[in-house]
Chain A
Amino acid sequence: MKFKSIYNSERILKIIFGLSLFVVLVMGGMSYQLIKKLSKSFEDVQHTYQIHIELEKLLSALKDAESGKRAFIISQDSTFLEPLLSSQSELESSLERLKLLTKNNPAQQKNIAELKIKIDKNLEIFEKTLGLALANKTDSPEFISSFKEGRQTMNSVRFKIMDMTTHESEELGIRKAKSSKTLSNAPMLIYYALIFSLLILLLTYLQISKNLRILKEKNELLETFKESTTQSEIISKHGNWIWYIEDNTFEYSDNLYRLLGEEPQSFPATLENFMGFVHPDDLDKLTEQVNKMMENEDLPFIHYRIIQKNGSIKHFKAYGKVLIDSDGHKKLLGTTADITDEIENYRLIEERNLELERNNKELASFNYVASHDLQEPLRKIQTFISRLEDKEKANLSDNGKLYITRIKSSSARMRSLIDDLLQFSRTNKSEEAFEDSNINILLETAKHDLAEIISDKRARISSDSIPSMKVIPFQIKQLFLNLISNSLKYSRENVAPVITISYSQTQASDLPKIKFSKHDLYHTISIKDNGIGFDQEYAEKIFILFNRLHNKNEYSGTGIGLSICKKIVENHNGYITAEGKLDQGSVFTIYLPITT
């Protein structure tokens, strides 16, 4: 997320950079404009002064002519008349220059025209006065009047020139006022722009230093991450590699070298160098897989073996994924793990499994064959006894009869032992045997099998309705058979057995024994009787094979029945518990998981 903010601020920085570039450009343009204006106004001032000077010159030329004339009139010395000639031509050229200077100002042009007329008139009077003076008629009234007129025109020329000077000054004033507004604002504007760009620079600096700090933090994080990756590589025995596909260059992590039995970075990371370690039998397969990796982006694990320099063979598992980075470069990111230990363990487990399976099979067949083949001679013994009893009873002494009775009961006991053992060995779990079954019918069948003893003992059996379940039907029937016959067998003397079979459902969390079951809810079937019960301390023991609480003379029993019950319930992923109270009765409870 922070990286993203850096990318964002990179954009902001670009914008700021563009902005400051623009501001500097604007400032440059403004300064150029300003200097241009300044030089223009300087030119204007110079122009005005030039006009002033020209006008001054004009006036002084006129004055020179006038004073030369006066000096000549007083002194009658013709040398005083010499400057007149030069001042006359100077007047002409001065007027020409003035015309040129004011060519853009019609008002001044008009003034110049009027001035020229006045000057011409003045010169005319001047010629006339001079002519009179040369004729020595200085005392004549004509001379005096023209002299006076000359002074008047001279004054009007002077006024005109003064007028023009004022006009030019005014003109300059207007221009000054016009430009002074922009000229006085411009430095302020430039100053503001400067401050603005300085501010931007400052902001940029802050942003850059912030980014640098984040980068530094990220760098530290990366360093830590790299360290932990290295550590995890070593612990979990895997190595990482990167294949830069376009350049066909590789990068191996240190641990990949270690997995190959080499020092980190001890040889150049290339495909050829790596393939040099691969087991010759796996080389073709791996090459093919690597080529596939280039085509597909996602691939399953590749398994192959390598041979280390010391000759030991290791099993590797590799996974690669093509990544395209932000610049569009293709690279293959790979992880290779040393799974030699796993494979060894797996092999060991498999071997042990096979051995166990073999043992189990042998045991089952031994159990089956033993009990089955034991039945054969026993059956004959029993049949011969029945023959003896029928045919020879009369010929036997009382002792002989007693012995026959004893042989009979012993062989009967042996039969029930063999039958139960056979039953126990047959109580196996096979998934195919599970089917949806009506439990009530199975219960009825069990009761039917026990009908004789139930009526003999005048037992009363009541039961709830039990929902259908997916079970191994004959085993559940056997379960009911064993539990009910158990209750009937261990009934109290002179008390008719009352057996109550009830159904409910129990939350797994309510049962300490099955708290961590993967099933939430359990079918709960309990079989309660009013028999002799048992001491609660034996509650676990009674389910163990051949464990009996009573002498076989008191109650017949093989000690297998409840073991079969336990096996059946466990075949159904369930649990069976027993509760007993001596001389009051016992409750057997079966918990079977509710599967959906």
Chain B
Amino acid sequence: MRENYTYVVLADDDEDDRLFFTEAFEELKMQTKVDLYKDGVDLMNALNQSDSKLPNILFLDLNMPMKSGIECLKEIKSNPRFKDIAIAIYSTSASEEDIEDTFVSGANVYIKKPNDFNILKKILSDVVTMNWQYQTSGLNRDNFLLRL
């Protein structure tokens, strides 16, 4: 039951990254609605409200105070209400451990934060237009880390 826009949520404690994120979507001019949370606790509080609207794609930073991205990921995956949310990990690090841990915990894609705004735009546009049906059904370790 998809509406005429894609609901995108980002949980990231870094102010600059939240700025880049919103600016990128503004410039992309896609049918999207973007909501931002400044940490994992905020995000989970919002999601756990029974009447909350659930995002189509959730971008999760890993390194956040109070509640880390991986904790949020595990919580979301353990709740059947959230089973349709596609989860994109959005992190500075691309260490093997983090990639492995989030893949095993059920994230759909892993994005290493780029150092160029135009690349960021391309990534976000790719992720939003991605065929999530395909991406979620055949969990593929090789395609997990998004390469551009």
Cα separation A372 to B17 with both chains bound (whole Å): 16
- Chain A residues positioned under 8 Å from B95 (CB to CB): 372, 426
- Is B70 among interface residues, defined by CB-CB distance under 8 A? no
Stretch of A303-311, A374-382, A539-547 that contacts chain B:
A374-382
* Interface bracket on B: 10 to 19
Contact string against A for B residues 72-111, beta-carbon threshold 8 Å, 1 for contact and 0 otherwise: 0000000000000000000011010000000000000000
- Is A232 among interface residues, defined by CB-CB distance under 8 A? no
- Is A166 among interface residues, defined by CB-CB distance under 8 A? no
- Is B113 among interface residues, defined by CB-CB distance under 8 A? yes
Interchain CB contact under 8 A, B92 and A376: yes
Counting chain B CB atoms within 10 Å of each CB, the highest count among A372, A378, A383 belongs to: A383
Partner of B92, one of A379, A386, A387: A379
Given contact pairs A379-B113, A380-B16, A383-B20, A372 touches B118 in the complex (Cβ within 8 A): no
Cα separation A188 to B105 with both chains bound (whole Å): 118
Interchain CB contact under 8 A, B118 and A390: yes
- Is A176 among interface residues, defined by CB-CB distance under 8 A? no
Partner of B117, one of A372, A376, A383, A426: A383
Cα separation A55 to B23 with both chains bound (whole Å): 177
- Is B115 among interface residues, defined by CB-CB distance under 8 A? yes
Contact string against B for A residues 369-408, beta-carbon threshold 8 Å, 1 for contact and 0 otherwise: 0001001101110110011001000000000000000000
Across the A-B interface, how many residue pairs have beta carbons closer than 8 Å?
Answer: 33
- Is B57 among interface residues, defined by CB-CB distance under 8 A? no
- Is A415 among interface residues, defined by CB-CB distance under 8 A? yes
Given contact pairs A380-B16, A383-B20, A372 touches B92 in the complex (Cβ within 8 A): yes
Interchain CB contact under 8 A, A379 and B115: yes
- Chain A residues positioned under 8 Å from B118 (CB to CB): 386, 390
Cα separation A372 to B62 with both chains bound (whole Å): 13
- Chain B residues positioned under 8 Å from A376 (CB to CB): 14, 92
Interchain CB contact under 8 A, A375 and B92: yes
- CB nearest neighbor in B for A378: B115
Cα separation A375 to B14 with both chains bound (whole Å): 14
Nearest chain A CB to B90's CB is how many angstroms away?
A: 12
Given contact pairs A372-B93, A376-B92, A380-B16, A415 touches B117 in the complex (Cβ within 8 A): no
Interchain CB contact under 8 A, A386 and B93: no
- Chain B residues positioned under 8 Å from A379 (CB to CB): 92, 113-115
A383-B120, A386-B117 known; 12 new pairs, CB 8 Å cut-off, are: A372-B92, A372-B95, A378-B115, A379-B92, A379-B113, A379-B114, A380-B17, A383-B16, A383-B20, A386-B115, A386-B118, A426-B95
